[in-house]
Amino acid sequence: MTNIADTMQSLYQRFGDIPGVQIELHRSLLAIRIDNENASATVFLQGAQLSHYERKDEPPIIWCSPLNDYSEGKPLRGGIPVCWPWFGDLDKNPDIVSAKPLAKNAAAHGLARNRLWQLDAVEALNPGQTRMTLSLDLKAEQEQAWPFATHLSLEVTVGEDLRLAFNVRNHSDSTVTFSSALHTYFAVSHITQVSLEGLQGLDYIDCMLDWSHHCQQGALSIDREVDRIYLGTSRVITLQDQGWARSIAVQTEGSDSTVVWNPWNEKARRLSNFPDSAFADMLCIETANADQDCVTLEPGCSHQLAVTITGQALN
């Protein structure tokens, strides 16, 4: 197990000459910071977790908690956690999810966000766009909860838009099924100033109402704790923010489910690394393969879950 100093030196040797690339150490976690003409972003090797993304001279698009302590093995609160090979509470997943009979007392949102990924490539595509690729190889014999040889990769493209493409390739001899999500925490001017367009008419599972099914009527505004899995969401969802006079388009690939979550005040007080008042500053719109939208892969097959996040001024 190489130590942090060796890893940091190796990353600088490999990527330090690329314009706008910084290698950062936040307490015990290494991160790559990208700055280019259009935007800046930070991605941690732990969990391949993007923590920050903002465009020049604009309020941040991604929210990250100021209470994170950046300790090893503890996912950051905020950013875009990669949730895999199960989304949320494993016991709430469909029985077909391969980890269910294997993982006991499993932590929420799977194992990928707690692992140390490796940085494979950083490319300055042009002065305003930088792409980095991270990967994680899981060996069957090392994973009690997921004993299937699997290659994960995450491609992050930082520019006028932000795009994450999460790829899972099944290198085992078994057919496997997983659920997953790119668990995006969006920054908002104030939770009472925002609404979500593009969900109207969709079926959703309301996790606050015993996982009962409902149909979304019109745009979604948030005035309480919301924890919903929208189904059939292969269209664009738009976050309208009147306070910052902007809209954020969330376009997905390989996903037919989207989770919308805000803890509101009560749950905010119970959450770790989450300021009590921060429910007003964020809204999760999570690009997922959740519940019935879970993914089954034959040996040798792969699946890509991707999201493109585009901000524009409200006209």
First to last CA, the chain: 53
| Residue given tokens 């996982």 in the structure block | 211
Q: Can you tell me the distance from the alpha carbon of 103 to that of 172, in angstroms, rounded to the nearest whole number?
A: 18
Pick 89 or 123: Cβ nearer ligand TA6 = 89
Among 109, 163, 228, 246, binds ligand TA6 (CB under 6 A): 109
Pick 43 or 284: Cβ nearer ligand TA6 = 284
Amino acid in position 119:
L
Is residue 209 a contact residue for ligand TA6 (CB under 6 A)?
no
Q: Do residues 58 and 161 make contact, with C-beta atoms less than 8 angstroms apart?
A: no
Q: Can you tell me the distance from the alpha carbon of 91 to that of 100, in angstroms, rounded to the nearest whole number?
A: 7
Is residue 293 a contact residue for ligand TA6 (CB under 6 A)?
no
What six digits make up the tokens of 274?
């989450």
Is residue 309 a contact residue for ligand TA6 (CB under 6 A)?
no
Among 4, 108, 121, 209, binds ligand TA6 (CB under 6 A): 108
Is residue 88 a contact residue for ligand TA6 (CB under 6 A)?
yes
Pick 239 or 284: Cβ nearer ligand TA6 = 284
Is residue 283 a contact residue for ligand TA6 (CB under 6 A)?
no
Is residue 286 a contact residue for ligand TA6 (CB under 6 A)?
yes
Is residue 261 a contact residue for ligand TA6 (CB under 6 A)?
yes
Pick 163 or 228: Cβ nearer ligand TA6 = 228
Rg (CA), the chain: 19
| Residue given tokens 């079926």 in the structure block | 203
Q: Can you tell me the distance from the alpha carbon of 147 to that of 20, in angstroms, rounded to the nearest whole number?
A: 39
Touching ligand TA6, residues 127-186 (CB under 6 A): 183
The distance between the two most distant Cα atoms of the chain, rounded to a whole number of Å, is 55
Binding site for ligand TA6 (CB under 6 A): 88, 108-109, 183, 227, 259, 261, 284, 286
